[in-house]
């Protein structure tokens, strides 16, 4: 009777996940100004809601404190809240701030997006 012993395959180290969300330098600068000004003592909350022609849209709002359903993201010395329901849609996203001739606001570079509507207000994954 022959017995063969095989060694179990070495366990692979888990792959590091990208951060949930990061801030660009421009977004951090604008957020610092908002936190120091009229929104002092508040935190920005990022959520994703069903809306628009592509199905989903980013929603920003102010909160006095993290809710039990928030993920707390810290980047560049700032804190941003992310609605837990939005986390799967936002993994690896970079929040930016753009000021153009006729508009200014936060934008999102989201590697999970598969497309956007023509007006740019909504996206799908």
Complete domains list, the chain, with CATH? 21-118 (2.60.300.12)
Return d(Cα 92, Cα 84) in angstroms, integer.
Answer: 15
Return d(Cα 112, Cα 125) in angstroms, integer.
Answer: 6
**Residue 6 clears pLDDT 70, i.e. is over it:** no
The band of 110, judged by pLDDT with boundaries at 50, 70 and 90, is: confident
What pLDDT was estimated at residue 71? 93
Global pTM reads 0.77
The average pLDDT across 30-49 equals 91
**Residue 31 clears pLDDT 70, i.e. is over it:** yes
């Amino acid at each position: 009777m022959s017995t063969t012993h095989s060694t179990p395959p070495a366990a692979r180290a888990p792959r590091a996940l990208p951060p949930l969300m990061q801030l660009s330098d421009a977004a951090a600068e604008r957020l610092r100004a908002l936190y120091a000004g009229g929104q002092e003592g508040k935190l920005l909350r990022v959520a994703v809601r069903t809306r628009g022609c592509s199905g989903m849209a980013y929603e920003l709002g102010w909160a006095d404190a993290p809710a039990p359903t928030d993920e707390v993201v810290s980047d560049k010395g700032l804190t941003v809240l992310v609605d837990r329901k939005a986390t799967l849609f936002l993994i690896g996203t970079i929040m930016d701030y753009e000021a153009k001739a006729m508009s200014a606001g936060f934008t999102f570079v989201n590697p999970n997006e598969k497309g956007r509507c023509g007006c740019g207000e909504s996206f799908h994954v």
